[in-house]
Amino acid sequence: MSVTTPWPVFITGASRGIGAATARHFAKAGHPVALLARSAAPLEALAAEIEAAGGRALAIPCDVADAAAVAASVAKTLAAFGGIGIVINNAGMLEPLGPIAEIDMREWARALAVNLNGPIYVMHATVPHLPKGGVVINITSGAAEHASFGRSAYCASKAGLMIASRVLAVEEGERRGIRAIAFSPGYVDTDMNTLNRANRMGNAGNIPVAELRPPEETARIIHFLTEPEAQDYAGKIVNARDSELRRRVGL
């Protein structure tokens, strides 16, 4: 891949919310985008929308909890776009909701498979193909650092993803110049936060509507973090509420 050509972007959880907004934003900036999610129909609709606007998009139905499916999706992206330069690990789920002593352990295992194993599978499959200076952004959450009643699977999986991001930065930063960033978007107006607000266990459901930010704003921040001028965020845990970050993005 040429360093002067916008790098292909590999986005999980791309069918809605932050993932879809991020895909639109990168495509508008000239990046080919590989769109991954479990549901084929919304992915294909988004890919068609992007291509109708003059962009390049590839819809790949994929369950990130399936390592073989992730590897196959990476192979399809490489065949279509000739490389991958940016990875956005956005796929995630909030459930199961409830006290540890009461939740279904099969649902717990599923959440960890999607929220933690999935991003690890994606990094395992994509990082060997990233060019020098490639970027991996893992979407984490404030829940990674703060216990929240009834959300043990979400909190634990996001905490695991946060430290895995830092490990990747240590492993690949100096020797290959790959930037790994754990990014917490805060309260975004997505289906997940609609569910979060509807569930009143503890304080997590008390998210003021006024604090919900549009997914398009989050997409702008993610795009900025992949740019050369954001090199100083490599290996860090980044929060969308950070005033200096917002100033640099122009928000």
Give residue 210's pLDDT band: very low, low, confident or very high (50, 70, 90).
low
* pLDDT tens readout for residues 92-149: 999 999 999 999 999 999 999 999 999 999 999 999 999 999 999 999 998 999 998 9
In this predicted structure, what is the pLDDT of residue 43? 97
Q: Which two tokens stand for residue 174?
A: 């100096």
Distance CA 118, CA 92 (A): 9
Please state, as a whole number, how many other Cβ atoms lie within 10 Å of the Cβ of residue 77. 25
Residue type, 30: G
In this predicted structure, what is the pLDDT of residue 206? 56
- pLDDT reading at 174 higher than 80: yes
Is 121 marked active-site? Answer: no
Q: Which two tokens stand for residue 51?
A: 């291509």
Distance CA 55, CA 75 (A): 21
R_g of the chain, CA atoms, integer Å: 17
Task: Give the closest residue to 179 by CA, choosing from 131, 142, 117, 218.
Answer: 131
In this predicted structure, what is the pLDDT of residue 4? 67
Residue type, 128: P
Count of positions (residues) in the chain: 251
Q: Which of 121, 154, 187, 233 is catalytic?
A: 154
The CATH architecture annotation of domain 9-249 reads 3-Layer(aba) Sandwich (3.40)
| More reliable by pLDDT, 174 or 32 | 32
In this predicted structure, what is the pLDDT of residue 188? 80
Helix (H) or strand (E) holding 34: strand 33-37
In this predicted structure, what is the pLDDT of residue 5? 85
Domain positions in the chain are: 9-249
Q: What is the pTM of this model?
A: 0.92
In this predicted structure, what is the pLDDT of residue 134? 98
- pLDDT reading at 34 higher than 90: yes
Instruction: Judge whether 15 and 37 are in contact, CB under 8 Å.
Output: yes
- pLDDT reading at 26 higher than 80: yes
